[in-house]
Amino acid sequence: MNADVKTVRSLIRVTAEWLEGKGVDSAKLNAERLLADVLGLSRIELYMQHDRPVLGRELDVYRQLIKRRAAGEPLQTILGETEFYSRAFKVEPGVFVPRPETERLVETAAELLAPGDRNHIAPVAVEVGCGSGIIAVSLALEVPRLTLWATDVNPQAVALTKRNARTHGVDGRLTVLAGNRFTPLPEHLRGAVDLMVSNPPYVRTDDIEGLDREVAEHDPHTALDGGKDGLDYYRALAAGLGTWVRPGGWIAVEIGDDQAAEVQAIFAAAGTEESRVVKDYADRDRVVIARLSGGED
């Protein structure tokens, strides 16, 4: 990078070119977001001050952030924040970084809790493997009458979910517990859950090394590795359905785009019906929903 570049406009231009040469997607957007963060400005303010000089410590800090991005560290973890469902969420290294396609899971899950069902006057949902909490917190915001429980085996993820819940004012309706899958859930939830939701690890073990480096090298492998066939976590969720979800309740999960039929079969074997596949906005299979048998019509 050219040490003589010292204005916002020229710095963005040369940085975008450099990042693009390093194989970074959306290089200009990355350059803008990182510079705006260093200068404490919004992207709009950045362009209102396009001739502003960038000197000294600001330039040094910016160069360090750009080097981290070029080395494959996700933009979200560098900034410590990501946008999801048009809301800002804190993220941090060591916790899975949410992807935009997961918005489809939230949208679909919220639709399942429509108030037309007499059981959904005050519904209860459980998220298994909450990560940064974007699913549980978003559902709480989209369905104000909803009470949620969320679990994660990673204590760091539990703390981050609690932080995001407080920030968005839903911590009074969202209880976050550390532990493996269903283990930390209280006994009174047995057979009382209206919706189980999860974005589980679904990458085949042998495929992890072939993922983009910002995923393979920076997301925790426990949040990626779904076992030899990528389906281990779906089997574990299915095993808990009859225990925790009420008859007629729902499960909604994110899937890999080639896993729909297998996930549907796993849930069907556990006693579900009315299974459906939902595509993401790139027209790829992304969500499977299924209803546990035994509910009233």
Task: Give the model confidence (pLDDT) of 28-55 as tens digits.
Answer: 988 998 998 888 888 788 888 888 888 8
User: In the structure, what pLDDT confidence band is assigned to residue 1 with cuts at 50, 70 and 90?
Assistant: very low
Nearest to 237 by CA among 180, 285, 189, 286: 180
Residue 287 clears pLDDT 50, i.e. is over it? yes
Residue 92: pLDDT above 70? yes
**Which pLDDT belongs to residue 48?**
87
Distance CA(251)–CA(175), nearest Å, equals: 19
pLDDT attached to residue 281: 86
Active-site residues, by number, are 96, 199-200
Supply the DSSP symbol for 222: G
Average pLDDT score over residue span 183-190? 94
Q: What percent of the chain has pLDDT over 90?
A: 52
pLDDT exceeds 90 at position 84 = no
Element (H, E) at 117: none
pLDDT in the model for residue 116: 59
Beta strands in the chain (DSSP E): 81-84, 87-90, 124-128, 147-152, 174-178, 193-198, 245-254, 272-279, 285-292
Is residue 10 within 8 A of residue 47, CB to CB? The reply is no
**Banded pLDDT at 233 (limits 50, 70, 90):** very high
Please give the mean pLDDT across all residues of the chain.
88
The secondary structure of residue 97, as a DSSP letter, is P
Q: Please, are residues 89 and 133 in contact by the beta-carbon 8 Å criterion? A: yes
What's residue 295's pLDDT?
63
Residue 2: pLDDT above 50?
A: no
For the chain, list the domains and their CATH numbers.
8-71 (1.10.8), 92-292 (3.40.50.150)
Task: Quote the pLDDT of residue 214.
Answer: 65
